[in-house]
Amino acid sequence: MKHMLPLLLYDKSALEPYIDERTMTLHHDVHHASYVDALNIALESAPELLQEKKADWLLFNLDKVPENIRTEVSHNAGGHVNHCLLWRIMYPQTASVPQGQLAAAINASFGSFEKFKLRFEDAGSHLFGSGWVWLVKAQNNSNKLTILTTTGHDNPLTQGYTPILVNDVWEHAYYLKHESRRMEYLHNWWPVVNWDEVAELFEESGDIVELSSEGTNANGQKFE
Ligand code: MN3
């Protein structure tokens, strides 16, 4: 099984003016594609069993990946999984806001939706270097939401959290339009968040089957 670059569910110009077409084209067709290609190349020398596994399984089970390709697999499986989630939680000008249980969980965790957005922007803008800013739910199925940042392509899945929202703060995500003004990019991004999709991730996030079909999580717990 080769890992595949997913098709976007919207046109690359559809997130304008919040994310420009040229950035989307480079980000999806070049950057994300390069992680998928590099992951496939790294796995060519791996045991066949590993070649059949999904990228999130590989992230959970890096100890089963041969040491000579482990770093390469970690970076590129992470890049693949993270970008897949990013494309999924955006949609053209939904201009929506969280509803229902998700809205209640955001209010309970951060005080209000406005406060949550400021905290998320602040976390993303203060991350040093390249990485990601996340809204996550603990995998123990509590409704408590937390904002996290990770560097490189690390994913909170392997730290006991289920991501429900993410933004990419690598420069390639915003530099053409916003140059070095990462805060401006984060602040202007909200109109293209697909809160229906985030709500779906929130509601299913107790169910790890959705994220990986087999294996063990970072705490060594078996899920099936
Ligand atoms: Mn990126």
CA nearest neighbour of 165 among 139, 200, 140, 127: 200
Q: What pLDDT is stored for residue 155 in this prediction?
A: 96
From ligand 1's centre to the CA of 32, what distance in Å? 7
Q: What domains does the chain contain, in order, with CATH numbers?
A: 20-224 (3.55.40.20)
Residue 67 CA to residue 7 CA, distance in Å, equals: 31
Q: How far is the CA of 88 from the centre of ligand 1 (A)?
A: 13
Q: What is the 221 CA–ligand 1 centroid distance (Å)?
A: 30
> Is residue 103 within 8 Å of 161, Cβ to Cβ?
no
Q: How many residues does the chain have?
A: 224
Centroid of ligand 1 to alpha carbon of 161 (angstroms): 21
Bridge partners (DSSP) of residue 161 are 138
For position 100, what pLDDT does the model report?
93
Cα of 26 to ligand 1 centre, how many Å? Answer: 9
Amino acid symbol at 119 = R
Q: How far is the CA of 86 from the centre of ligand 1 (A)?
A: 9
In angstroms, the CA 221 to CA 224 distance is: 10
Task: Give the distance (Å) from ligand 1 centre to CA of residue 79.
Answer: 7
3-class SS at 137?
Answer: strand
- At residue 211, the pLDDT reads 40
Residue 191's pLDDT is 95
pLDDT in tens, the chain (224 residues): 799 999 999 999 999 999 999 999 999 999 999 999 999 999 999 999 999 999 999 999 999 999 999 999 999 999 999 999 999 999 997 768 999 999 999 999 999 999 999 999 999 999 999 999 999 998 876 789 999 999 999 999 989 999 999 999 999 999 999 999 999 999 999 999 999 999 999 998 654 433 433 333 333 333 32
Q: What separation in Å is there between the alpha carbon of 5 and the centre of ligand 1?
A: 13
What pTM value is reported for the model?
0.90
Q: Ligand 1 center to residue 174 CA distance, Å?
A: 9
